[in-house]
A and B are shown apart, each in its own frame.
Chain A
């Protein structure tokens, strides 16, 4: 295959296959570093805070939240949409970039997919806890019951149930099918009997024969083909929760594409936040290079710009529609009592990502890290602005109120952050963070130099 000489290698350092295995398995061996323990302590503390908040919500009910009659959706749905959005990067990277034959995905897809699964778990927590009676959560599924009721298939909230559960399950098998060969490698490299037994169990008896590999590739390709429209459908359906209502500020047809690009935008930002730290901490800088970071930053510019255009389009449409309620909702967003949230959103999502047009900034790790945090914050505020500013001043001025979260709501949010980082820290100890086999398969065409045959 022709590789253009200007293109920089995806994998740095003169590696052979055995070195790749060794490098990627290294973070799983031995005792965790003290930074790992520090991270674990912090995230478990957040988790405990969340557990307290969960207890309060279940024991005393939704009344412990800051919601009121006018604002019935607050931090809960904001966090739900935020987490679902973050959960879009993993499958986007592994499915859509696989279909586009982007080789740089091989270094980041595994951890991004793991992040996706954890983020969806965090997201799913919010609708469940919002039901108040958590034990009745299974009512959302259509099953034959003594009440002789079926669920409402016309409701976007029910579509959400199907979309999110399908997305979680398909992402899970996609991730695990990709993991099987690497778990086989871990099994064969294991030194102790227990480790060998555990990874032998988890690796499903993988041998890496020609036929297994050939079919494995077919399965991965078709799963990618299925997951690609699935990713797009999930946030589309989440946006229907808002778009099919008749609330000014929500009732817009631009929501599906706007939400999907926002989701990819925030997902990539979270991947960057995690990987910039992880590549350093795990000594994987030769695998997740500045090139990878730069490529992701380019996706951020693209999706961030789409989101920016969507914001402006919404404003234009509010004016052009001639509907005074719609117009008021948007003026209230930008200049009303929640203007601070709106301008945080505008700054973090529309202005700062544009700095990535400068090569110096998009190849700088520090700048990327800071901007990625900005995007995370901005995208959280986007959902907050959409949810709260559209609700807090409704058609009846006598019921206009302000909304602020209670400590319990803050606790639930911090708790999911704790869950997210706890599970991610466990993931990097238990599974190979980079797809070993996939990196090996691009090593020759994209390695630092053509691999010379290695003889003992």
Chain B
């Protein structure tokens, strides 16, 4: 298995997008791109699918709302029935605030946790940092290398596409 890769960087997001278009035409496989901020259109250029986090948020919120609502209903009709001046026990309007807050809480937390777990982000996580400047002002491109000849061609393609600082790592 060939694990070697080539890194190169751009100074500008528009040059990066144009560069990616050019090297993709030449059939170079892009492994990853590290940018200092979200670059619009980059996810499409790389071919990322739509995020499924929205579904996590939806179902998290649904579960939260159900827990909140059913719990209140259970407390006031089963577990601890109190007569508040003859008002109904199953008082749906007054359950709404807590139901809403629970929905928001569960939705937000389930989505953020899913995000962190998916990317293995968390306190003390040790990421591979290819280039420390990629969180500052460089748009770092990581492409798959091949054998010696292919690598040369890829490096040439990269430099034709305007990339700088081309480095090959085995």
Q: Which A residues form the contact surface with B (CB < 8 A)?
A: 16-18, 21, 142, 148-150, 152-154, 156, 158-159, 162-163, 166, 169-170, 173-174, 177, 180-181, 184-185, 187-189, 200-202, 204-219, 222-223, 226-227, 229-230, 233, 237, 240, 437-438, 440-441, 444, 451, 453-455
Contacts and interface: CB of A to CB of B under 8 A. Distances in A.
A204 B155 CA distance: 33
B3 interface: no
B36 A209 contact: no
Q: Which of A163, A184, A200, A213 has the most CB of B within 10 A?
A: A213
B39 A213 contact: yes
B90 to A, nearest CB: 11
Given A180-B121, A217-B38, A223-B111, A209 B53 contact: no
Contact of A205 (B127, B136, B137): B127
A34 to B, nearest CB: 30
21 contacts: A17-B136, A150-B75, A152-B82, A153-B76, A153-B94, A154-B84, A159-B101, A162-B101, A163-B101, A177-B112, A188-B132, A188-B134, A205-B126, A207-B134, A208-B34, A208-B35, A208-B36, A215-B115, A218-B51, A222-B57, A233-B101
Interface in B64-105: 71-72, 75-76, 79-80, 82, 84, 87, 91, 94-95, 97-98, 100-102, 104-105
B108 A453 contact: no
B27 interface: no
A149 B80 contact: yes
A389 to B, nearest CB: 27
Contacts of A205: 119-122, 124-127
A233 B95 CA distance: 14
B12 interface: yes
Contacts of A227: 104, 108
Nearest to A188: B132
B46 interface: yes
A223 B108 contact: yes
A112 to B, nearest CB: 19
Given A154-B87, A219-B53, 10 more contacts: A177-B115, A208-B36, A208-B135, A210-B48, A211-B48, A213-B39, A222-B53, A226-B57, A233-B97, A454-B11
Contacts of A201: 123-124
B118 A215 contact: yes
Interface in B22-57: 32-39, 42-43, 46, 48, 51, 53-54, 57
Interface residues of B, number: 65
Given A17-B36, A208-B134, A229 B123 contact: no
Contacts, number: 188
Nearest first, the 8 closest Cβ-Cβ pairs linking A and B are A205-B125, A17-B137, A18-B137, A437-B37, A159-B97, A188-B132, A205-B127, A204-B121
B129 interface: yes
A218 B104 contact: no
A39 B78 CA distance: 55
B43 A437 contact: no
Contacts of B38: 213-214, 216-217, 437, 441
Nearest to B76: A153
A440 B104 contact: no
B121 A223 contact: no
B105 A169 contact: yes
A170 B108 contact: yes
Contacts of A162: 97-98, 101-102
Contact of A166 (B11, B105, B129): B105
Q: Which of A177, A206, A212, A455 has the most CB of B within 10 A?
A: A212
Nearest to A164: B101
Contacts of B15: 453
A111 B79 CA distance: 45
A217 to B, nearest CB: 5
A28 to B, nearest CB: 15
Contacts of B112: 173, 177, 219, 223
Q: Which of B36, B57, B80, B123 has the most CB of A within 10 A?
A: B36
A163 B99 CA distance: 10
Given A222-B53, A453-B11, A237 B33 contact: no
A99 to B, nearest CB: 15
A219 B108 CA distance: 9
B104 A226 contact: yes
B128 interface: yes
Contact of A215 (B35, B51, B79, B101): B51
A210 B127 contact: no
B136 A18 contact: yes
A440 B12 contact: no
B11 A188 contact: no
B37 A188 contact: no
B133 A214 contact: no
A148 B78 CA distance: 13
Contacts of B109: 169, 173
